[in-house]
Every structure is written in structure tokens, then in C-alpha cells.
Amino acid sequence: MKIENEDALDHLIICHQCHTLHEEIPIEDGTKACCVECRSVLYRYDSRLIDHGFALSLTTLIFFAVANFFPLVQIEMLGNEQFITIPMTFFSLFENGFYVVGMLCAVVLFLFPLAIFVLYVMLFLMLKLKKGEDLSRRLLVWLSYMKPWSMNDIFLISILVALVKLIGYAQIHMGVAFWALAVFVLLDIYMTKHIHLKEIWMLRKQIFAEKQ
């Protein structure tokens, strides 16, 4: 295979699941290209990626704030009432001396998810204003390092497991934050499925190439 320069490698894609080499072809707006070997999505094309991405990440960030401020669940047990928020789960671990678990929970449930969506908002804003070529590269690198360490979806399932364990012992009321967390997780999944970092890299290249 002969190519003009290394930049031409951007027309090639190695499937992230099965490592098959593909050549990128232009596709219609709003459609996706899939791997011939394993059917996983290789890339999508969205002509209004910046607007969609910005709106989506800002909305997700708002739901994240609500999910962390308000009570998650409230229980009534033996005449006592008790509620928790998401930060309370790792603060209580700290109070009981479980620093390692507490730190890990704080990172995967709070710090990284927050950082990820703040970075997304900044990134789309920079692409919209066509500024920060260098910074946007660094943000994208940070994002790909942090993404595997965000575990709110797993936490949501854990809440349900914990509550099922309490059925029969306590009366359970779901708080506002629970629903906000559910929406946050759905938006997070939607975003991961529909906006790949790869597409943002391509968009970034295109935007800053136009500028020069």
C-alpha cells in the first residue's frame, strides 16, 4: 500500500473491537458505518456534531449536579428516618476509616464523571469558537484516559440491589437525585454510543485545517 504522507492514514480505521483494518468512506448525514467482521460501529457522520455535542454535554452536566445535590433515597426503619446523597456514600466510608475504597468511589462516581462532562462542554465550546488547537488536543487525551473510570451506570444498578436487600426491613422512598442519576446514566450511554472521541478528533482536524 502506498500513501502520500502520514496524514493520509486518517482515512484508515482499525476496528476497536476486532482490530480489522478498514478504509473510511463518506457516509450520509445521520448514518453510521459498521465493521464488516464484528458489526460494531466504526464511525458516524453528524453535520451538526458541535451543536448536538454541546447541548447534550451541558444537559448531562445539569442532571449530574441535581443527582449529587439532592437525596438519593430515603428510608424509614424502626421509627428512624434516614436519607443519603451520592457524596454521602463515599464520605461515610472515609468516616469509618475506609480511605482506599472511599477514594476509589469518590473518583469513579464523582470526580471523573464531573471532569469528563466539564471537559466535553469546554471542548465543544472551543471547537465552536475555533480556538485552542493545542488545549483541545490535551482535553481529548485526558478524556480518553478518564472515560473507562466512570462508573455511574454500575452505581445505579448497585442502588437497586441495595434497596431490594432492604425490602421487608424498611420503607423506601426514591429521591429526586435517583431519577436525575437515571437520566444522567441514560444520557451518558447515549453520548458514548453516538459521539465517539474519534469523530471529535476528525472534526478538530477539519476545523483547524480550515483556519490555516
Partner 1 sequence: MIEVDEKNLIRCPVCEAVNIDKDKENRCRRCGSPIYKYRRFKTEKSWAYLITAIIAYIPANLYPMLVSTQFGKTEESTIVGGIILMWESGSYPIAAVIFFASILVPIMKFLVLVYLLISVKYPLGKDKKVNKHKLYYMTETIGPWSMIDVFVVAILAALIHMHNVQIIAGTAATAFALSVFFTLLAAQVFDESLIKENR
Asked whether 120 and 82 are in contact (CB, 8 A), the reply is: no
Q: Of 186, 202, 196, 190, which Cα lies nearest the Cα of 44? A: 196
Long-range contacts of 161-170 (CB under 8 A, 24+ apart): 163/73, 166/75, 169/77, 170/75, 170/76, 170/77
For partner 1, give the closer residue by CB, 66 or 197: 197
Please state the closest distance from residue 147 (CB atom) to Zn ion, in A: 14
Give the binding range for Zn ion (CB under 5 A) out of 8-16, 46-54, 91-99, 132-140. 8-16
Say if CB 18 and CB 34 are below 8 A apart.
Answer: no
Of 51 and 95, nearer to partner 1 (C-beta) is 95
Coil vs helix vs strand at 105? helix
Q: Find the shortest distance in angstroms from Cβ 20 to partner 1.
A: 9
**According to DSSP H, which parts of 71-132 are helical?**
86-95, 99-106, 112-129
157 binds, among partner 1, Zn ion, none (CB under 5 to 8 A by kind): partner 1
Cell numbers of 58, please?
A: 451541558
Residue 27 Cβ vs partner 1, minimum distance, rounded to whole Å: 18
CB 201 within 8 A of CB 140: yes
Of residues 38 through 77, those in contact with Zn ion by CB under 5 A are 38
Count of other CB atoms within 10 angstroms of residue 95: 10
Distance, CA of 130 to CA of 136 (rounded, Å) = 10
CB of 57 to partner 1, least distance (A): 19
Work out whether 37 is an interface residue with Zn ion (CB under 5 A).
Answer: yes
Please give the residue ranges that form the binding site for partner 1 (CB under 8 A): 1-7, 9-10, 12-14, 16-19, 21, 38, 73, 75, 77-78, 80, 82, 84, 88-93, 96, 98, 100-101, 104-105, 108-109, 137, 140-141, 144-145, 148-149, 151, 154-155, 157-159, 161-162, 164-166, 197-198, 201, 205
Per-residue contact flags (x/-) with Zn ion for residues 17 to 36, judged by CB under 5 A: xx-x--------------x-
For residue 31, is it left (φ>0), alpha (ψ between -120 and 50) or beta?
beta
Contact present, 112 and 149 (Cβ < 8 Å): yes
The one segment of 10-18, 106-114, 168-176, 180-188 that binds Zn ion by CB under 5 A: 10-18
Residue numbers at the binding site for Zn ion (CB under 5 A)? 15, 17-18, 20, 35, 37-38
